[in-house]
Chains A and B, each alone.
Chain A
Amino acid sequence: MKNLLSLGGLSSLPRSLSLAPIVLALAVAFVPAAAQAQPMLRTAPDWTRSLVTVEITFNAHDAFQPWNNPTVSTRKHGLVVAPGDVLTTAQYLPTHTLVRLQKGGRGRWYDARVKWWDAQTNLALLTTEAPDFWSGLKPAELMTTVPAGPEFNLVRWREGNLESRRADFSRFIVSEGALGFAPQMIMEVSTDIGGRLGWAEIVERDGRVAGLTTYGTSRLCGAMPASFIRRVLTAYRAGGFAGLGHFDFTWQPGSNPGLVTDLGLSGAPRGAVVNKPGKAKGEAGLQAGDILLEIGGFAIDSEGDYLDPDYGHLQLENLATRAHFSGEKLPMKILRADKEMTLDYVIPEANFEKETVPREVFYAPPAYVVAGGLIFQPLSQAFLRGWGDDWRKNAPFRLQYYQYAEPPDGRKSLVVLSGVLPDDINLGYQDALMLVVDKVNGQTVATLTDLTGALAAPKDGVHRFEFMKGRGLQRLILDAATLDAATKRVVEHYGIPAATRL
């Protein structure tokens, strides 16, 4: 914004600070001894009959030209889990344009259909109508409970051959899903198989699947445990899958005896301290300063962990998804103002659309509005990732910070002026970039629909755009009488398929 002149200390921009993602703290699992004592059975399962290859062609998000639909293809693994069902991770599937399956690591590709995908679980079911595909294949068995190692095998297709290599159990952790933000328990294993991992390779033992990988480096990868997958698939098939939930409050360990005593706890420190309540109010709502003593019947220790009967000490976040889906009640025993009490916490749905700056916007083609050459888009993390792998460092700090602090007026979403396609109508505004819209023609704008609605009501022959108070440009004006003609001209001139996609 080189022409923004400042005489009052308003123009000096701070260094662009990049933000780290909110990652749930990790809890190392200490697994009961009984689970470790299982005998190792060496068999030679024929994974060629269950593990298949999935090819996905999908639309990538072009942050700066959202009308573009660049397509990218990638391959990963799928696992036959039932007749007609190939299970894989949901990664890359949300914007798929073509999905194909291949068995045996070579030969014919079969057109496939996505039966179901879910971002928060990071799971998807594929199928194909081609009977040939299914001949010779058989469903794999998913473990009911995943033992804590010590040894597994990591199995994948590589250049037409099945490759299997030992994978050592590392730990169980609780983390956000690879695609969503609902908490999940993840099994980390280390292996020397090489190459990048996380393409839904299987982790198996004794012919049974322990997990599907969701992320990894060449030596360490995380796998979604089969026990979790089984529970989700069972619910889905029974028509009872309501989506994963999450805890919408934030908490801290109750490990400072001074603090928990001050909050009314007697005896040794236990429980986690709520420091920011969630959205629920009243009887079901938590308050800052509450001490979480039990969740779903599990005692919470002063580190914020509970003792899982199958997987040892895990972070309390896992209780949001361990045995419940969103919308279900989860009893919580808390200490508030020196008194123990129980409340029924209703697990909120983990849903990108409820975020002020949604992490993903892949449920529909990227939305935008081009008006007189000004390009407007919803502010999302998907948009911010347009700055590349180093987006946390390079994307405009102020736009990123909306992820951490909601707008003071409480609006539920934001629209950003992401660029200007030069035209006579917008002359003088070429440098007006990356500004969050406050109002258009006096109407508050939280969505592109708000924006198009406001553009129907110009005043004094002009459209008045006002931006959020801050260090950037505060407002600009476009001629109302010529706006539609200018938009048409811009769209044709710059080869944009349509001026608006909501």
Chain B
Amino acid sequence: MQNSKGVLAGTDNLGRRFVRVVLSGLPMALLLGGIGSAALRAEAFVAERAVVQILTSSQVPVYDAPWRFQPVQRSSGTGFVIEGGRILTNAHVIAWAKQILVRRYQDPRLLPARLVFAGHDCDLALLELIDPTELAEVKPLEFGELPEVRSTVVTAGYPAGGDQMSFTRGVVSRIEVQPYAHPGNRALLAVQTDAAINPGNSGGPVIQDDKVVGVAFQGMPGLQNAGFFIPPEVIQHFLDDIKDGRYDGFPMAGVTFYDLQNSAYRRLLGLPDDGRGARVDALRANGPAERVLKPDDVLLEANGYVVGSDGLVLYKGNRVTVAVVFQELQAGQVLRLKVWRDGGPLEVDLPLEAYDGDRLNGRQYDEPPRYFIHGGLVFTSLSANYLDSASDGGRGGVRDELAQLAFELHHLPVESPAAARTEPVVLSSVLPHPVNADFGVRGQALVNRINGVRITCLEDVKRALLEHKGERHRFEFWGPKYGPLDALDRAAATAANADILRTYGIVSSERL
């Protein structure tokens, strides 16, 4: 299975900016060049019994036909046993999984597993075997510290190119906050290494001095010898988060900082040219930061970390964006900030909150899309997943109506929060039936109003249609003020519902 192209974990769920480099077809010797030193053998020996292969059968929904799923895809990734007998891996390895099987080192059996927690924002997931005693004899791997740049690390996993466990070695190239491809709209601390990280490596441990210093997770197109792994800071944050039995996710303060390197700007704010402080440029409406910060506040320190005028802090020997300090805390914890406001320093406490207000903006997993079907009209949530499927990933260029959807989804909430809808609804398609044969709008249209009711979520659609008493339903698309109009006979649409669902093999008219 590993040799079949396109079914390897890590190849299916990665976003536009980060796509794993596929090296299938290269000779093994080339892939694993450098293996064989005594040090490597010693490190690998400790790790290999705890490293498992994860075989997943997954089914991704069809976002523009939301009652359907794509064909089952099989993929494989890597995981490793940690304290408590559970298996840590990448969230993208098990996303949309219908079945998870684990293969232990040198064990022919396939052991069924289940998902315990998934942190899609940090691309980590925790699994456990259905029969946890199978791992009773396995010594869990322990976590180490953030490795130093230039130090050597070893990866272990089951990448493409063979069936057995593979090890690669490399140095830590750099440590920065990087976009995480799996969520698509989050950036967290990540470590770059020149150790080969290939499809199938995903979720595997990166080891230094017998301890796990990372989880291999993504590559970057166009770069050679550059793989990325999730560092212990992020892993520990995930593990701490789930201790209360619930995953909240990384807090999002809702503030955008910008460099403060222009001397005129510094002078205006009364700051010397001493290379300190990043300026608050924008605040998310109703976010926690908006309650304590103001535009043009200058962040001088965050939890004791001195913030440079380039917006970076010295974090464990690395210059990293100040975001990393915010991300150290859990939702509910308070960040102590030293800011410069109105010509003087000020200390403020910023309570951090988990934030999922932009979930439709990023890629979603494991929860099939919401929808409502009436009279053959298929309504679903406007989301990045929907837009990707409707626009073929943007490859073929985008038409007017999709541009409007993209604006509504990505820009309106930032530009005009008051005008933004909680859950923009799109008419994704019309299932042809005599009752809707004359309906002119056939899909990919934002639903503005139905029977005069402004649509802010799918429940509004259902209410507006089911509570209407008039002879016909009136639809207004696009907006904000004008757009295509349409109408549907109320009684005929209601009467046709069962027939339409039967004709198109749809089990339920809604998933709300």
Q: Which residues of A contact B (CB under 8 A)?
A: 3-20, 22, 250, 252-253, 255-259, 261-262, 273, 275-277, 288-289, 390, 392-393, 397-398, 400-401, 404-405, 408, 425-429, 460-462, 468-471, 473-479
List 17 A-B residue pairs with CB atoms under 8 Å apart, sorted by A's residue number. Answer: A5-B258, A7-B255, A12-B362, A20-B400, A252-B440, A256-B438, A256-B440, A258-B438, A258-B486, A259-B486, A392-B397, A401-B403, A404-B400, A405-B404, A462-B268, A471-B411, A477-B262
Q: What 5 A-B pairs are tightest by C-beta distance, nearest first?
A: A8-B254, A428-B261, A479-B264, A14-B410, A12-B185
Q: Beyond A18-B397, A408-B416, A428-B261, is A8–B255 a contact (Cβ under 8 Å)? A: yes
Alpha-carbon distance between A474 and B410 when the two chains are bound, in angstroms: 17
CA distance A469 to B414 in the complex (A): 7
Is A258 in contact with B400, judged by CB distance below 8 angstroms?
no
Q: In the docked arrangement, what's the CA distance between A477 and B266, Å?
A: 9
**Residue contact B252 to A7, C-beta cutoff 8 Å:** yes
B397 touches A393 (CB 8 A): yes
- Write out the residue numbers on chain A whose beta carbons fall within 8 Å of the beta carbon of B16: 15
Q: Which of A8, A425, A428, A461 is packed against the most chain B CB atoms within 10 Å?
A: A8
CB distance from B132 to the nearest CB of A (A): 37
The residues of A that contact B398 with a CB separation of less than 8 Å are 17-20, 392-393
Chain A residues with CB under 8 Å of B252's CB are 7-9
In B466-512, the 8 Å CB interface with A consists of 471-472, 474, 482-489
Determine whether the beta carbon of B394 is less than 8 Å from that of A252: no
Instruction: Give Cα A477–Cα B270 distance, bound, in whole angstroms.
Output: 13
**Alpha-carbon separation in the docked complex, A17 to B404 (Å):** 10
Q: Are A259 and B184 in contact (CB under 8 A)?
A: no
Secondary structure dominating the interface of A: loop
Which residues does B use to contact A, with CB under 8 Å?
16, 179, 184-187, 252-265, 267-268, 278, 281-284, 287, 289, 295, 309-311, 321-323, 326, 355, 357-358, 361-362, 384, 391, 393-394, 397-400, 402-404, 406-407, 409-411, 414-416, 438-440, 471-472, 474, 482-489
Name the one of B268, B409, B472 contacting A477, with C-beta atoms under 8 angstroms. Answer: B268
Instruction: Evaluate contact between B256 and A275: CB separation under 8 angstroms.
Output: no
Docked-complex contact B258 and A4, CB < 8 angstroms: yes
Contacts of A398 in B (CB 8 A): 411
CA distance A17 to B399 in the complex (A): 9
Are the C-beta atoms of B281 and A4 separated by less than 8 Å? Answer: yes
Residues of chain A lying within 8 A (CB to CB) of residue B287 = 8
**A116→B14 CA distance, assembly (Å):** 56
Given known pairs A5-B258, A15-B16, A400-B403, the reply for A275 and B321 (CB within 8 Å) is no
Please tell me which one of the listed residues B407, B416, B482 contacts residue A276 in the complex, with CB atoms under 8 A apart: B482
The residues of A that contact B409 with a CB separation of less than 8 Å are: 14
Known: A404-B400, A429-B262. 17 other contacts (CB 8 A): A6-B323, A8-B255, A10-B282, A15-B16, A17-B402, A256-B486, A275-B483, A277-B482, A397-B403, A397-B407, A427-B261, A462-B265, A470-B414, A473-B281, A477-B264, A477-B268, A479-B267
Closest to A302 in B: B438
Q: Which residues from A are CB-within-8-Å of B185?
A: 9, 12
Contact B403 A19 (CB under 8 A): yes
Min Cβ gap B312→A in Å is: 9
Asked whether B184 lies within 8 Å of A12 as measured between CB atoms, the reply is yes
Chain A hits for B326, CB < 8 A: 7
B284–A8 CB distance below 8 A: yes
Alpha-carbon separation in the docked complex, A254 to B391 (Å): 28
Contact residue among B184, B259, B397, B472 (Cβ-Cβ distance under 8 Å from A20):
B397
Minimum C-beta distance from A371 to chain B (A): 13
Specify which chain B residues have a CB less than 8 angstroms from the CB of A400 in the assembled complex. 403
Distance A288 CA – B449 CA, assembled complex (angstroms) = 14
Contact of A9 among B254, B258, B322, B394 (CB under 8 A): B254
Contact assessment for A5 and B406 in the assembled complex, using a CB-CB cutoff below 8 Å: no
A264 to nearest B CB, angstroms? 12
Do the beta carbons of B264 and A478 come within 8 Å of each other? yes
Q: In whole angstroms, how far apart are the Cα atoms of A395 and B410 in the complex?
A: 16
> A20–B394 Cα gap in the complex (Å)?
12
Determine if A471 and B268 form an interchain contact, defined as CB atoms under 8 angstroms apart.
no
Structural contact, B284 and A10, CB atoms closer than 8 A = yes
Write out the residue numbers on chain A whose beta carbons fall within 8 Å of the beta carbon of B179: 12
Task: For A479, give its contact among B263, B394, B404, B439 (CB under 8 Å).
Answer: B263
* A100 smallest CB distance to B (angstroms): 38
